[in-house]
Every structure is written in structure tokens, then in C-alpha cells.
């Protein structure tokens, strides 16, 4: 059996923002675990807190109006919420790197791409001579599939096309060979053909470096392609967590059933109507006491509105927060598998 | 193309070229032909920058076409005619991509929906109010929503307002330009169901422009695949998806991620090399020749003609008949 090494562990993280209208509880008790070489897909609708969760790992959320209410983030057994600024800077430079949806929010438009990558490498390894760093930078650009990397090294981001900027941003992140890569919707703005290229590239790099990846997306197709584990988020909480194959083929939470049923099945035409989830997500200024999905759930029970469900676990370590798995819950059919719900 | 019984719109050799800089021309839409039957949906797909939005807007006469003919219910349209835009707007309406940008923030929802009627001076105020409420109910909103402003609504609700605005003119054709791409998955399905239900009750015809290929397949009867402003393939939806004729279509569809890891891990992907070339310096010959893996010498020199390969299934490729995938 392959030995898994734990790299990141998030314990009961709460993160809130202060706004004029009051406190927005963006993340409300998220716990996650990522091993080396694995990819975690973080899926959810917009505003469910997936980006805030990811950014809070490296403290990239605005600190002026946001704060960690409670929780721990352990990276290689070190609590990231307690490290000093110097250490945090080192971790950001070398060990945890992020890529974003829009490459221009990451690349500096006034600086040559090559210089940015070289600077990143020197930040991570202060003792490295510049010549060597440049060599590594060119090598990484080549690995990213950028033709003529030597020449492109001296170009500005605006001289790159959209797909190349995305590659340059990934190069910037991967040049220092990080242990954890956080990808915040890296392919959302791209066409399917480019998306396929970029995903293949990320997968290759992962194999090469054994990097752990957190892939944030709302596209279920993307996570099906790349993720080993999937966490489904809703209203700042994790609804379901499990191996990718299980979450898609034996989903446990009614919210997951809902999203899977609202995408058109392959080969279907419009004579079979889609089953949307009725309603809208709850307001995070004043989140409901019970299950946040209760208002939209077709299987809602009395208890759902009054108490947040316990965490139930299957034998294969798939976890779900839903009262339907309690021993006193009524018999219900899982609409995806057609079988009775059970752990 | 042969005239058909229920044909509502036929577009022949439609082009839209923009002048950019000195003696440079951007061929955003180049020689596109298609036809549409009443009550059916045409899906237009392609990568960004392939001209699908420009095509929709040229049909709507938001951009004046450079050349080409359009027939609405078998009557040739004359864009230079007086009052043409208004006449066209009675027949064709549009739903836009961004539900945040396409509604005027300073108008109430009622005014937004009634604006077309107010322009035409055909109705009394009371009548307008009644019909607005009726329309809001058809798209799943309430009568009290008429007095609110767009910022008070969520993305899905705004898209419903956009749809009711398009319906207000009782058009035959609605051009949906990426109507769901700004919405979340669960809300996308709500809007799709609404569009389909309206199509069935009102015999609407849709031109559905989107880059979400699985949704396009779901709603469309026919599909038009575009690349760099040109039409690559046009045919019945299932035929195009199952047995694509053009190498580009084949590559495009193989790139759609399937939300099932079991299928996803076994699939063979055709990864297109490189990126879409600049539409100003178009490649000679077939526009796809720079990225096509079956490219031959003839592709680089000669522009392929659109031919009917199977009944109703057109393709512009020199080797459409011979290529086996």
C-alpha cells in the first residue's frame, strides 16, 4: 500500500468578515485533510466560502475587515495561524503557492515574465545565484509548454496570449517546487480546449513533483477529471467529503444529489426536464441554526431546521453531514443510485 | 439550401467584417449559412473569439452585416428599409449574458419590461401594468417585483427579468447569448427549464449561443460549430455530437469534461496544440489548418467549401468524407 503523508490539516476553521451590514460568517467550521500527491476538489456554488477557505490557509484574506474566529491550520505539523510574519513569508514563497482564475491578478504587468519567475525562485532560495535561478525559470517555462521559452523569458505579460499567461502563472507557482498548490478556479475563464490543456499540464506536474493540490471549482467535470478526494461546500460548511469516485457514483448528501441532477445527463435531450434545486442559498449574515440546506431540501425533516446534523461516516471513510443517516430517520431513496440511503 | 415548410429564418452567406487600423480587416463572421425551423433551437458553439456573439448580434442588426441575405418567413429582409430595426425587434429579441450589466439599474423592473410597449404607444398605462404582472408570473416572479430595482434581485432572478423583457414583444425568435454562463449550476437548471417550458407553450424559436457544450446539446435540435468566424459544421445535434465530421468539432467535444470520474479516467482526449490564431492575420486556406492533426498540403492553400455530407449535416473540410476517427 502506498504510504500517505499528511501535509495539511484544517481543524474546525471559522472565518468572518465585518461589513456595514454586520458580520458575514463566510467559513463556519471547515475541517479538511490533504496528503502528499493528492488532489482535493473543493466544490460549491458562488459565495459558499470555498475561496475564503483556501485563502485563509496562507492568510491572504483581507485582515482589516476579516478575522479568524477559531480553528487551526496545520501545515507539516506547524500551526499556520501562530507562525510569525517572517516564517509565513518563507512558507508562501517556497512551500504553498497559489494560482488564480485571472492571471493578470497574479502577474505584475510592469515586469518581464522571466524576471518575475526568477525573483520568485530567489525569494524561495536566497542563496541561489541569479544565473542559476534564470536557468530554472527558463526550464520551467519550457516544461509548461511555452515555445521559445528563452525569448519569451524577456516578454511582458501583455505580450502573452490568454492561455500563455495562465501557463506563465502556473510556472511562477511551480518553479519553486512547492509542497502544496492551491488552484482557485484556474480554468473557469478558459475555453474547453484550453482547459483540457491546462488540466493535463497540472496533472503532469503533480506526477513529476508529487505536489498536493487543492482545486477550487464549481465545474463538476473538472473535479471528476483531476481530484482524488472531493469536499462539497455549502453556506460555509462542508456537506460531504469522500473519494472522488464515491462522491460522484454514490453521493450521500441531498445537496450533492441536487447538483448532480441539475446538470444534463450525457445523451439526454430537452424532453427529459432537468431537476433544479429550488430556492437560493441562505444569507450568511444570519445563517440558519440547523442544516443550511434545509430550506431547499426535498427530504427536509423537523430536526433539520433545529439542529445542525452530526457527522456520519461510511466504512470507506466517506463523510456526510445530514440527518437522513441517523438511525431514527425515515427510509429514503437515493435518487442517484436508486437504493435506500444507508451508511 | 432548400426551402422547408416550417422554416422561420434562413441566413445565407452572412458576413460581418470590422475595419481595424490601416487597411486591416477583422473577419468576425465570414460566410455563415444556416436555417431554423419554427419551435426549434439552434445551438452555436465555439471557442471565445470565434464570432458566435457577433453572429447573434449581426442577425439582430445590432451590427450591420457586411454582406449576406436573411430571410424571415421566406421574405428577404432589407436592412436599408425605413423602420427596419423596429420591425426586426418585433420578430427577434435577445437575452444577454450578463444579468448584471444588461438591465438598467435606474429603471424599475416594470419599466424595463414595458419599455418596448411605451416606445410603440400602443397601450394604455393600465394595460401595460396588467401585462407586466402577467409576464412576471410566466417567468416565475411575483407582481410586487414590478416596483423593485434590478439590484434587489439575484443573478437567476435577473435573468428571468431579461427573459420577460424579451417576451414582452411577443417575438418568434429569441437569441440567447450565453444566458446561463454567469449562473450557478443549480440556478442554471432553473433557467434552462424555464426556457424549455416557454418554448413549448409559446412555440418560440431559439438561437442558443453558449460555450457550455453539454447544455447546448441538451437544448438544441441543430448545432452550428464556428471557428475563427467561419462555419465548420452544421447539422442535427445528436449527429454532430456522436459522429462529428470536422476534426475541429471532434477535438472540441473531446475536451468537454464529463462529471463522472469513471468515464473521465478512461477517456481519450484530443489535445489541440497551441491556440486560436489571430483573426486579423488569418491562415491561408482552411482556418483550422494550423492546429489540425490531419493537415495536408491542400488544406494550407485552398479554402474548403461547405458541403452536405449526410442529409442535413454540412461540413467544411476537404477530407470530411474520408476521415475516420
Who among B218, B237, B258 is closest to A221 (CB)? B258
> Grid cell 475541517 — which residue?
A31
On chain A, the residues whose CB falls within 8 A of the CB of B98 are none
Contact A244 B261 (CB under 8 A): yes
- C-alpha distance from B116 to closest chain A C-alpha (Å): 30
pLDDT 10s digits, B157-169: 999 999 999 999 9
Q: Indicate which CATH number applies to the domain containing A32.
A: 3.40.50.300
pLDDT 10s digits, B82-136: 889 989 999 999 999 888 899 999 999 999 999 999 988 888 999 999 999 999 9
Q: Is residue A18 part of a domain?
A: yes
On chain A, the residues whose CB falls within 8 A of the CB of B217 are 264, 269
Alpha helices in chain B (DSSP H): 52-59, 84-91, 109-120, 125-138, 155-167, 185-202, 213-219, 237-242, 247-254, 261-266, 297-301
> Grid cell 439590484 — which residue?
B151
Q: Assess whether A174 and A27 both reside in one domain.
A: yes
| Nearest CA-CA partner of B313 in B6, B34, B109 | B34
Q: Are A183 and A227 in contact (CB under 8 A)?
A: no
Contact B261 A273 (CB under 8 A): no
Q: Assess whether A14 and A131 both reside in one domain.
A: yes
On chain B, the residues whose CB falls within 8 A of the CB of A192 are 47, 211, 213, 252, 255-257
Q: Is residue A266 part of a domain?
A: no
pLDDT value at residue A188: 82
The mean per-residue pLDDT over the stretch B191-218 comes to: 91
Q: Which three cell numbers stand for residue A126?
A: 536566497
pLDDT value at residue B9: 94
Contact A263 B211 (CB under 8 A): no
Q: Which three cell numbers stand for residue B109?
A: 423592473
Number of structural domains in chain A? 2
On chain A, the residues whose CB falls within 8 A of the CB of B275 are 161-164, 194
> Grid cell 424549455 — which residue?
B196
| Nearest CA-CA partner of A75 in A90, A52, A57 | A57
Question: In 3-state terms, what secondary structure has residue A197?
Answer: helix
pLDDT value at residue B4: 60
Q: Which of A213, A233, A253 is the last residue of a domain?
A: A233
Mean pLDDT of chain B: 89
pLDDT value at residue B1: 47
Who among B186, B187, B196 is closest to A273 (CB)? B196
Q: Indicate which CATH number applies to the domain containing B12.
A: 3.40.50.300
pLDDT value at residue A220: 86
Contact B264 A222 (CB under 8 A): no
CB atoms within 10 A of CB B68: 17
pLDDT value at residue A1: 41
Q: Is residue A239 part of a domain?
A: no
Whether the CB of B259 is below 8 Å from some CB of chain A: the reply is: yes
Q: Is residue A62 part of a domain?
A: yes
Does residue B5 register a pLDDT over 80?
A: no
Q: Is residue A256 part of a domain?
A: no
pLDDT value at residue B325: 65
Q: Assess whether A149 and A225 both reside in one domain.
A: yes
Q: Is residue A253 part of a domain?
A: no
Share of chain A above pLDDT 70, in %: 99
Give the domain range for residue A314.
275-343
- Angle of helix B185-202 relative to helix A254-261, nearest 10 degrees, comes to 50
The mean per-residue pLDDT over the stretch B72-78 comes to: 91
Contact B185 A200 (CB under 8 A): no
Q: Is residue A268 part of a domain?
A: no
DSSP state of A268: -
Dmax (CA) of chain A: 68
On chain A, the residues whose CB falls within 8 A of the CB of B264 are 221, 224-225
Contact A224 B258 (CB under 8 A): yes
Whether the CB of B187 is below 8 Å from some CB of chain A: the reply is: yes
- C-alpha distance from A163 to closest chain B C-alpha (Å): 8
Contact A248 B189 (CB under 8 A): no
Q: Is residue A121 part of a domain?
A: yes
Q: How many CB pairs below 8 A link A and B?
A: 118
- C-alpha dihedral sign at A108, A110, A116, A119: negative
Q: Assess whether A68 and A176 both reside in one domain.
A: yes
Give the domain range for residue B64.
7-106+149-315
Q: Are A28 and A235 in contact (CB under 8 A)?
A: yes
More confidently predicted of B2 and A267 = A267
pTM above 0.95, yes or no: no
Selected residue of B50, B99, B184 to mutate for chain A interface (largest A Cβ count, 10 A):
B184
Contact B269 A200 (CB under 8 A): yes
| Nearest CA-CA partner of A241 in A51, A44, A77, A14 | A44
* Closest Cα in chain A to B251: A193
Q: Assess whether A190 and A285 both reside in one domain.
A: no
On chain B, the residues whose CB falls within 8 A of the CB of A225 are 257, 261, 264
On chain B, the residues whose CB falls within 8 A of the CB of A204 are none
The mean per-residue pLDDT over the stretch B189-211 comes to: 92
Number of structural domains in chain B? 1
Question: In 3-state terms, what secondary structure has residue B14?
Answer: strand
More confidently predicted of B270 and B40 = B40
Low-confidence residues in chain A, pLDDT < 50: 1-2
The mean per-residue pLDDT over the stretch B277-293 comes to: 86
Contacts of A80 (CB under 8 A, 6+ apart): A57, A58, A59, A73, A74, A88, A91
Amino acid at each position: 500500500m502506498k504510504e500517505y503523508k499528511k501535509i495539511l490539516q484544517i481543524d474546525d476553521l471559522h472565518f468572518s468578515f465585518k461589513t456595514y451590514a454586520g458580520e458575514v460568517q463566510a467559513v463556519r467550521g471547515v475541517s479538511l485533510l490533504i496528503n502528499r500527491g493528492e488532489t482535493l476538489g473543493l466544490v460549491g456554488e458562488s459565495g459558499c466560502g470555498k475561496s475564503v477557505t483556501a485563502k485563509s490557509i496562507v492568510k491572504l484574506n483581507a485582515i482589516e475587515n476579516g478575522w479568524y474566529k477559531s480553528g487551526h491550520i496545520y501545515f507539516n505539523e506547524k500551526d499556520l495561524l501562530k507562525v510569525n510574519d517572517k516564517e509565513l513569508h518563507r512558507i508562501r514563497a517556497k512551500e504553498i503557492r497559489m494560482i488564480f482564475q485571472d492571471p493578470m491578478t497574479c502577474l505584475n504587468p510592469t515586469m518581464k515574465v522571466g524576471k518575475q519567475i526568477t525573483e520568485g525562485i530567489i525569494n524561495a532560495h536566497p542563496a541561489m545565484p541569479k544565473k542559476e535561478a534564470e536557468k530554472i525559470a527558463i526550464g520551467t517555462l519550457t516544461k509548461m509548454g511555452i515555445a521559445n521559452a528563452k525569448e519569451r523569458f524577456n516578454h511582458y505579460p501583455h505580450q502573452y496570449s490568454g492561455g500563455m499567461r495562465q501557463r506563465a502563472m502556473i510556472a511562477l507557482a511551480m518553479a519553486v517546487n512547492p509542497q502544496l498548490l492551491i488552484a482557485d478556479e484556474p480554468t473557469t475563464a478558459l475555453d474547453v480546449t484550453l482547459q483540457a490543456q491546462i488540466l493535463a499540464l497540472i496533472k503532469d506536474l503533480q506526477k513529476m513533483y508529487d505536489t498536493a493540490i487543492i482545486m477550487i471549482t464549481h465545474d463538476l467535470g473538472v473535479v471528476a477529471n483531476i481530484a482524488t478526494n472531493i469536499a462539497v461546500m455549502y453556506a460555509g460548511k462542508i456537506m460531504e467529503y469522500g473519494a472522488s469516485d464515491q462522491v460522484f457514483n454514490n453521493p450521500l448528501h441531498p445537496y450533492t444529489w441536487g447538483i448532480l441532477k441539475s446538470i444534463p445527463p450525457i445523451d439526454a435531450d430537452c424532453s427529459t426536464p432537468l431537476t433544479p434545486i429550488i430556492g437560493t442559498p441562505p444569507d450568511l449574515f444570519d445563517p440558519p441554526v440547523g442544516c443550511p440546506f434545509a430550506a431547499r431540501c426535498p427530504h427536509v425533516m423537523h430536526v433539520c431546521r433545529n439542529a445542525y446534523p452530526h457527522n456520519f461516516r461510511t466504512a470507506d471513510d466517506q463523510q456526510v453531514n445530514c440527518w437522513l443517516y441517523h438511525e431514527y430517520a425515515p427510509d429514503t431513496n437515493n435518487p442517484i443510485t436508486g437504493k435506500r440511503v444507508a451508511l | 439550401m432548400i426551402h422547408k415548410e416550417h422554416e422561420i429564418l434562413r441566413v445565407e452567406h452572412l458576413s460581418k467584417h470590422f475595419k481595424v487600423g490601416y487597411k486591416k480587416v477583422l473577419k468576425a463572421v465570414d460566410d455563415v449559412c444556416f436555417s431554423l425551423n419554427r419551435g426549434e433551437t439552434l445551438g452555436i458553439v465555439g471557442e471565445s473569439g470565434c464570432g458566435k456573439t457577433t453572429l447573434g448580434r449581426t442577425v439582430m442588426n445590432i451590427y450591420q452585416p457586411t454582406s449576406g441575405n436573411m430571410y424571415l418567413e421566406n421574405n428577404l429582409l432589407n436592412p436599408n428599409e425605413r423602420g427596419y430595426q423596429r420591425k426586426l425587434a418585433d420578430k427577434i429579441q435577445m437575452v444577454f449574458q450578463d444579468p448584471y450589466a444588461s438591465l438598467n439599474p435606474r429603471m424599475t423592473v416594470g419599466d424595463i419590461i414595458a419599455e418596448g410597449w411605451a416606445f410603440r404607444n400602443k397601450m394604455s398605462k393600465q394595460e401595460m401594468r396588467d401585462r407586466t404582472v402577467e409576464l412576471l408570473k410566466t417567468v416565475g416572479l411575483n407582481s410586487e417585483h414590478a416596483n423593485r430595482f434590478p439590484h434587489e434581485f439575484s443573478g437567476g432572478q435577473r435573468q428571468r427579468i431579461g427573459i420577460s423583457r424579451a417576451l414582452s414583444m411577443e417575438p418568434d425568435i429569441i437569441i440567447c447569448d450565453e444566458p446561463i454562463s454567469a449562473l450557478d449550476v443549480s440556478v442554471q437548471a432553473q433557467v434552462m427549464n424555464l426556457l424549455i417550458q416557454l418554448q413549448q407553450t409559446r412555440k418560440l424559436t431559439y438561437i442558443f449561443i453558449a460555450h457550455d457544450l453539454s447544455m447546448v446539446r441538451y437544448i438544441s435540435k441543430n448545432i452550428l460549430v464556428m471557428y475563427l468566424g467561419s462555419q465548420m459544421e452544421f447539422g442535427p445535434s445528436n449527429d454532430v455530437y456522436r459522429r462529428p465530421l470536422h476534426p475541429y468539432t471532434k477535438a472540441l467535444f473531446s475536451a468537454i469534461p464529463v462529471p463522472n470520474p469513471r468515464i473521465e479516467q478512461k477517456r481519450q482526449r484530443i489535445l489541440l496544440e497551441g491556440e486560436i490564431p489571430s483573426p486579423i492575420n488569418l491562415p491561408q486556406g482552411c482556418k483550422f489548418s494550423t492546429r489540425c492533426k490531419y493537415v495536408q498540403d491542400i488544406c494550407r492553400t485552398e479554402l474548403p467549401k461547405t458541403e452536405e455530407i449526410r442529409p442535413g449535416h454540412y461540413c467544411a473540410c476537404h477530407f470530411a468524407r474520408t476521415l475516420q476517427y
